[in-house]
Structure 1
Amino acid sequence: MSTFKNLLILATLLFGGLVHAQSNFTSKSIGVGVVVADMQRSLDFYIKGIGMVKTGNFTINAEFGKRGGLTGSEAVDVNILKLENNPESTDWKLMSFGKKAGHPKPKFIQDDTGLQYITIQVKSLQPIIDRLKEQNVTFLGNTPTPLTKDSHFVLVQDPDGTFVELIGPM
């Protein structure tokens, strides 16, 4: 009985700490800010190609950018995209300062550090493949690549080189 009691106390301490640590967050998702070279080209890729929806936008003014440590006194417009217009969906926030990347576009995910790829689970790949082809997006590797009997993998890059994995049935 005392062994069971000790295990119960240990489990409470371990799992109780995990639950407490996670309770500090007010959202289930992480908003991701992405600096792009060409805003319109990126909006076309994510909205017309991938199928995301624009759910809002805002401006970080120069004063707040400097005071908050975000920019060196530069204002920037931010466009918020989501997979669907739902408060629990991740914010994919695009912003542009009108300049190209200071590093070469990666050919593979191991070519650079930092955010390299995102994964999007889809209900059907074919409509997305068709839209991306209309946008003249290059498909990487031998995609679509079968993963299981009902699931395939497609890999593309956004205009700035971020890899986008699309996974779902054809």
Structure 2
Amino acid sequence: MKTHYLFCLILVLTFSSVRAQDDYENLTVSIGVVVSDLEASIEFYTNIMGMEETGELDLNGSFGKASGLTGGRPLLVKILKLKNSPDATEYKLVSFGNDKTRFDKHIQDQNGMQYTTFFIKSTEDIIKRIRENNIEFLGDTPIKLPDGRTFILIQDPDGVFIEIVGH
């Protein structure tokens, strides 16, 4: 009897997870990041990381409160993508004018979203932009990975770790 119950449970869990995966309309995830200075963050992500601003959402305070996103404050969301394509992940930036609250030294220092990884074809241009803008390389980066690619670690204007991996 226990074996039959266990078999049924495994079947239910298997089919439940498959069904849940089929529920998704999009195969990308939109990531929302609250930043202290919207313009500085847009500057970083467009001019250093090479993303492009593809749109915005201007949401009033009523929506902010009804949706539970804010306590009634309006929000202007700037949408950035690596490429202006419907298949590209959205990186959404919003600011409420909050002060910078942290600049961790390592991803282990706090829970929550700590880093974003960008995979690029060549690291040559981005290394040049990082140096020209006096952005600090963290650790001993850039370093070579065993597969021949280069790994770079920097931080955005609010201290979010940015991993860059490429040739």
TM-score between the two structures when normalised by the length of structure 2: 0.88
Is the partner of 1:130 in helix, strand or coil? Answer: helix
Aligned structure 1 segments of 4 or more residues deviating by more than 3 angstroms: 11-18
The answer (yes or no) to whether the contact 1:45–1:135 under 8 Å persists in 2 is no
Unpaired stretches in structure 2, ≥5 consecutive residues:
1-9
Q: Which residue in the other structure is 2:157 paired with?
A: 159
> Post-superposition shift, 1:132?
1.8
Task: Output the aligned Cα RMSD.
Answer: 1.9
Q: Give the letter for the 1:38 counterpart.
A: D
Which shifted more, 20-29 or 129-138?
Answer: 129-138
Provide the identity percentage.
Answer: 43
One-letter amino acid of the structure 2 residue matched with residue 26 of structure 1: E
Q: Deviations over 1:87-143 (max 9, x none)?
A: 111110000011214x32111101111000011111001111111222221110111
Structure 2 match to 1:145: 143
Give the SS at the match of 2:65. Answer: helix
1:149 and 1:110 map into 2 onto residues whose CA distance is: 25
Aligned-partner residue type, residue 119 of structure 1: T
Quick one: which amino acid aligns to residue 32 of structure 1?
I
Pairs aligned (count): 160
Using structure 1 for the length normalisation, give the TM-score. 0.87
Question: What amino acid is aligned across from residue 62 of structure 2 in structure 1?
Answer: E
Residues 1:84 and 2:90 are matched in the alignment: no
1:143 and 1:160 mapped to 2: Cα distance? 20
Q: Unmatched 5+ residue regions in structure 1?
A: 1-10
